Amino acid sequence: MNKKSILYLAVGFLAGILVWTLIFGTRSASKTIKVNKGDWQKLNLVLNSIEQNYVDTIDYEKITTAAITGVLNELDPHSVYLEPQVLKESEDDLAGNFDGIGIQFNVPSDTAVVIEVIPGGPAEKIGMLAGDRILKVGDKVIAGVKFPQDSMVRRMKGPAGTKVTVTVGRGKEVIPFEITRGKIPTHSVDAAFMVNDSVAYLRLSKFARTTVTEVTEATDRLLNEGMRKLIFDLRENTGGFLDQALLLANMFLDRGDLIVYMEGIHREKNVYRADGRGKLKEIPLTVLIDGGSASSSEIFAGAIQDNDRGVIVGRRSFGKGLVQEPIFFSDGSGVRLTVARFHTPSGRCIQKPYSDDYGYEVYERYNSGEMLAADSIKVDTSLTYKTVSGRTVYGGGGIIPDVFVPVDTSKVSPFFVSCNRKAVAMRFASAYFDSHKAELQSIASYDRLLSYLDSADLERKFLAFAKEKENLVPDAGWASDRPYMMAQIRALVGRYSKLGDNAFYHLYLKVDRVFEKAMEQV
């Protein structure tokens, strides 16, 4: 080895010693900071140290979001941080109104089709019609390109007073509408109508700020139309405002009946009872639930079940027994923090256990056989409670219905599955409306709608459409699937009449097994 090599080796060795000394010398010179377990001191120290000493430029927003999200992830599945846009959309959905143009649309294939123009809204005032195909929003082409539906919504929403140009196709015409956005009312009552001379049906999609007002208006009308019994549909209702659930339950319960109570480590026990002033205390009640019924839906269903006020029909509810409180930040973001557990009148908490697959637990219900047989529902026998009349109910995992209805697994023919996968029924209904717009939009009564649908030759036209568009033809399973699919098609076409969603549900319920079982209970 020559002298030059030795020199290089020595320099390299000394440089290594220097780095080692700098690093570990610094450590040895530092003091160990004492922290108390269970407080925020350590986290604050780390964040301060990063701010004061980190080698590179810091993206404070990114780090703050990550830190908040990480902390909340260690709590429970419902304590969450929401970015400004997500929070705004969530708040708008429950507020009872939002800023926009005032339309409802479906995307049957790759083009949005207007199914309803909200009366009095900006779109109606400027001349948009049901059946219009949305081609562009501003300069952005959204037709024929599989544009995400949520992105369409965001482009059409915007602050009241601002303008947006929406270009639609109407027949062979292309019409640009410059629309000034405004306040658009949203509804939580999807449908409310008389099933027969005495039984009414009401479907509630969420517990929004306007829910009790909407339900009151709907039931007042139904009472005038002869309602003596009510089927209250809470399937797929994921909840919303707590006060609306309390006020809604109050409409059906006697004075002093317990609705719910809540408590947490840092929250005193709050007990809520009915005041006895509800208008519907004497109306026999049947409540429909499923795995999508959560939170406020479960508070309502639990109050009805535990007070033996009505019959719960369907399948086990989601199992969310936690109460969230919002925290809003000046940048538009916010946190929903779990602050308490709620307990139904019998004393049960219906919160299901936390797990790694918490949000997908519904698939486990399929795998365990629970969706097919009531005997397969997993119950914690250590969490047994009694209703007012002494019936046994269970905590620890949702509301178990009084009358169980299994999932219908009979419709599995290749033709039926392919039609559903490719949304053929929805696309057919849209195409049918496009060529029969005037007829459908003139129909304002259910009897007239039935007469029209009976004479419309829909089955032949649908099968021809399925053959032409997707080369799909009925197979051996069509005989058993036909009643269900044709009810679906009639409901989708009927929705384009002036009756809207009332028509859809009225027609669709004819093949709804849960509703059928509910009718046996009233």
Amino acid 26: pLDDT: 42
Among 152, 185, 218, give the residue marking a domain's end.
185
- Do 196 and 177 belong together in one domain? no
- Do 386 and 452 belong together in one domain? no
HSE of 455 in the Cβ direction (CA atoms, 13 Å)? 8
The answer to whether position 19 is within a domain reads no
Q: Which long-range contacts (CB under 8 A, 24 or more apart) does 508-515 make?
A: 509/195, 509/201, 511/483, 511/484, 511/487, 513/405, 513/408, 514/235, 514/288, 514/290, 514/313, 514/314, 514/315, 514/405, 515/201, 515/231, 515/233, 515/288
Q: pLDDT tens digits, residue range 327-358?
A: 999 999 999 999 999 999 999 999 998 887 77
- DSSP track, 69-135: HHHHHTT-TT-EEE-HHHHHHHHHHHHSEEEE--EEEE-SSSSEEEEEE-TTSHHHHHT--TT-EEE
Instruction: Name the catalytic one among 157, 320, 352, 517.
Output: 320
Q: Which long-range contacts (CB under 8 A, 24 or more apart) does 175-180 make?
A: 175/132, 176/136, 177/123, 177/126, 177/127, 177/128, 178/126, 179/101, 179/122, 179/123, 179/126, 179/128, 180/122
Using DSSP bridges, classify how beta strands 133-137 and 140-141 pair: parallel, antiparallel or unpaired.
antiparallel
- Do 323 and 196 belong together in one domain? yes
Q: pLDDT tens digits, residue range 16-27?
A: 444 443 444 444
- Do 450 and 314 belong together in one domain? no
- Residue ranges, the chain, pLDDT below 50: 3-28
- Do 200 and 181 belong together in one domain? no
Instruction: Name the catalytic one among 188, 295, 346, 497.
Output: 295
The answer to whether position 252 is within a domain reads yes
| Distance from C-alpha of 522 to C-alpha of 287, rounded to nearest angstrom | 11
| Distance from C-alpha of 326 to C-alpha of 337, rounded to nearest angstrom | 6
The answer to whether position 382 is within a domain reads yes
Residue 231 near residue 518 (C-beta atoms within 8 A): yes
Specify the CATH number for the domain of residue 147: 2.30.42.10
Amino acid 127: pLDDT: 84
- Do 259 and 346 belong together in one domain? yes
The answer to whether position 302 is within a domain reads yes
- Do 269 and 347 belong together in one domain? yes
Residues in contact with 126: Cβ distance below 8 Å, sequence separation at least 6, in sequence order:
177, 178, 179
Q: Which domain holds residue 48?
A: 42-74
The answer to whether position 90 is within a domain reads no
Amino acid 91: pLDDT: 80
Q: Classify burial at 442, counting beta carbons within 10 Å of its beta carbon; exposed 0-12, middle 13-18, buried 19 or more.
A: exposed
Residue 118 near residue 183 (C-beta atoms within 8 A): no
Among 185, 202, 227, give the residue marking a domain's end.
185
Domain count, the chain: 4
The answer to whether position 491 is within a domain reads yes
Q: Which of 497, 495, 496 is nearest to 507 (CA)?
A: 495
Q: How many CB atoms are located within 10 Å of the residue 394 CB?
A: 21
- Do 399 and 309 belong together in one domain? yes
- Do 441 and 512 belong together in one domain? yes
Q: Which of 343, 483, 480, 317 is nearest to 404 (CA)?
A: 317
Specify the CATH number for the domain of residue 365: 3.90.226.10
Instruction: Name the catalytic one among 190, 233, 257, 306.
Output: 306
- Do 151 and 264 belong together in one domain? no
The answer to whether position 441 is within a domain reads yes
Amino acid 2: pLDDT: 52
The answer to whether position 69 is within a domain reads yes
- Do 128 and 178 belong together in one domain? yes
Q: How much is the pTM?
A: 0.84
Please confirm, yes or no, whether 333 is among the known catalytic residues: no
Please confirm, yes or no, whether 295 is among the known catalytic residues: yes
Among 164, 185, 206, give the residue marking a domain's end.
185
**Which regions of 371-520 does DSSP assign to beta strands (E)?**
384-386, 392-394, 403-404
- Do 391 and 466 belong together in one domain? no
